[in-house]
Amino acid sequence: MKVQVTASVATSLLEILFSGVIFGWPSLQFALEQEGYFSNLCANKSVSNSSGHDVPVTCDQSDAHFNLIFTLTTSTQLILSFPNGFILDRLGTWVFRGIANTLYSSGMIMMATSSPETSYILYPAVIFMGVSGLALLTSNFQLANFSQTFKGLIITFMNGMFDSSAVVFLIIKILYESGFSIQSSFLVLTGISVLLGLRTFLLMPRKLIPFMPPANLKFGWEELFYLLRKRRSQRMVGRSQSSSREEVLSEENEDEREEEQINRETLTFRDCLKTGIFWTNLFHYVIGQFRIVFFIGTFLQWIKAFDEANNISRLTNIFGALLLCGFAFAPLNGILIDSVTKYFRKNVADHKNVCLRATFASMTVTSFLLIVLSITATLQSALPSFVLLVLARAFVYSGNSAFVSLNFPVQHLGKLYGLTNAIAGLFGLIQFALFRVAQTVDPEFHYINVSFLIASCLTLVHPIFLLRAAFARS
């Protein structure tokens, strides 16, 4: 089983690298603007550049559409995380991923067939990519159960690869500037999405991987071949022997059922919602996620407010390249969590207490990163803001995933993670209204960044509650 587990985890990282492409939106938006998407909404559809060539222009109306697409996508993918969690927990991984793979490929096909004349197709196309991408990431978290020692590191590294997938749109932008069409790039991505979809049945479980996987657990191709042999046997020997085979399968998975039964007896879903730290984590995550998506969604407008027009493409490339470093930064949070866990495990017998202390350290660092990011954004310091955004983004998303997986039972992981994302997504819808306000009264985003600074300071409430909860269990 070791070979299969290794292959599953390795290919999950490759899949995740193509799942969070929406966060490379500034790079794709730049290319789409140059191609002339939504330029028909502007009074002057094009202007002549220094070389005498006509270049499509942007205006408040076209900027609003690009921002609305990003806002709806990032909010919808989070809002749908809650029902997605129920689908994953109730129907299993194969059904859940089958839906996600279909949506992802559909979004890619729409982008491959789009044009400036059909600009509005960007709405369903980008939303499909965003929603399915987060769903695929969620389905891969359970693979961390194969390693109890490095569970936190694996989860945060997956989040880091999700962050780094923003580089896909940067590559599309660079290829576009080199003469490769946007449609051709997405046609290639369509083929990649189909190939990655095959791992659903070859390297992922039909249902879910338990918190403590038994040694004889069948998943992926072993489970697929077992089910095929089982159906063949049913046709050959009839229903009586089929029933006996189901009993054998039930015995093989008895360890999994016992583990889930222990978890159910420990904490119900309603009990999870009654804990104070769930709600302080929700507040922490909502502020952090909103800070990040607002920065990414308004990136080009923020840069244009204080930098020269001929420098925008270079800064966009730098920002996109730094987003690639998410895979390197996210494990820092996992290393921090695992190190604190290892340190306190020597002196603290209560596992729950250890998890609370570990997540306290993670959330404290995350809050300070958000605070410093808001300061540099207010001061219009581009490069420091880019670096801090990548760091804060890695800690916000990986920290939330680790918090839910470490402090609550595995059978509620999908629902709790989905509920947290859904509420954050609802708040994220405010981004478009805030962007429209900034266009008229705060074009340099000064007062908005000051507001984010105040909100980021308030997120320190969460680590304080975590520390208080840890002391209460001592």
pLDDT tops 60 at residue 210: yes
Spell out the alpha helix ranges (H) of 165-253.
167-177, 182-197, 199-202, 221-237, 239-252
Average pLDDT over residues 98-116: 93
249 part of a folded domain:
no
Task: Express each pLDDT in 248-290 by its tens digit.
Answer: 444 445 444 544 454 444 578 888 888 889 999 999 999 999 9
56, β-bridge pairs: 46
Residue 104 confidence (pLDDT)? 93
Q: Confidence class of residue 45 from pLDDT cuts 50, 70 and 90?
A: low
One-letter amino acid of 90: R
Phi-psi region of 238 (alpha: psi -120 to 50; beta: other; left: phi over 0): left
CA 101 to chain centre: 15
- pTM of the prediction? 0.78
Asked if the structure places residue 91 within a domain, the reply is: yes
Token pair for residue 472? 């209460």
Q: Side-chain half-sphere of 189: how many Cα atoms within 13 Å?
A: 28
> Residue 55 has what pLDDT?
57
The 10 Å CB-count burial string (b at 16+, else e) for 394-417 is bbbbbbbbbbbbbbbbbbbbbbbb
In-domain check, residue 15 = yes
Q: Per the structure block, which two tokens stand in for 95?
A: 């059904």
CA–CA separation, 338 vs 336, rounded Å? 6
- Asked if residue 228 belongs to a domain, the reply is no
151 pLDDT exceeds 70? yes
Alpha carbons 126 and 70: distance in angstroms, whole number? 8
Least Cα distance to 340 among 399, 414, 285 occurs for 399
Average pLDDT along the chain: 83
| Residue 93 confidence (pLDDT) | 86
- Average pLDDT in the 217-229 region? 72
**Arithmetic mean of pLDDT, 309-324:** 86
Residue 309 within any structural domain of the chain: yes
pLDDT at residue 228, as a whole number: 73
Instruction: Examine the pLDDT at 211 and tell me if it is beyond 50.
Output: yes
Least confident of 76-85, 150-159, 367-376, 458-467: 150-159
Q: Which residue has the tokens 């800070």?
A: 291
Least confident of 129-138, 327-336, 445-454, 463-472: 327-336
Maximum separation of any 2 CA atoms in the chain, in Å = 81
Element (H, E) at 18: none
Domain harbouring 353, CATH code = 1.20.1250.20
Whether 213 shows a pLDDT value over 60: the answer reads yes
Residue 355 inside a domain? The answer is: yes
Domains contained in the chain, number:
1
The answer, yes or no, to whether residue 88 has pLDDT greater than 80, is: yes
Is pLDDT larger for residue 297 or for residue 159? 297
Report the C-alpha gap between 121 and 125 in whole angstroms.
6
SS3 of residue 450 by DSSP: helix
Q: What angle do CA 325, 150, 86 make, to 5 degrees?
A: 85
Task: Please answer whether residues 134 and 23 qualify as being in contact, where contact means their C-beta atoms are separated by less than 8 angstroms.
Answer: no
In this predicted structure, what is the pLDDT of residue 372?
97
Within-domain flag for 234: no
Q: Which residues is 54 bridged to in the sheet? A: 48
Let me know: does 351 contact 429? Beta carbons within 8 Å: no
> Is 469 within the bounds of a domain?
yes
Domain that holds residue 200: 2-43+54-209+267-473
If you average pLDDT over residues 321-333, what whole number do you get?
Answer: 81
Q: How confident is the model at residue 56 (pLDDT cuts 50, 70, 90)?
A: low
Contacts of 201 (CB under 8 A, 6+ apart): 94, 220, 221, 224
406 pLDDT band, cuts 50/70/90, is confident
Q: Which of 100-104, 192-196, 330-334, 419-423 has the lowest mean pLDDT?
A: 330-334
What pLDDT digit, counting tens, does each position of 354-379 carry? 888 989 999 999 999 999 999 999 99
Give yes or no for residue 313 having a pLDDT over 60.
Answer: yes
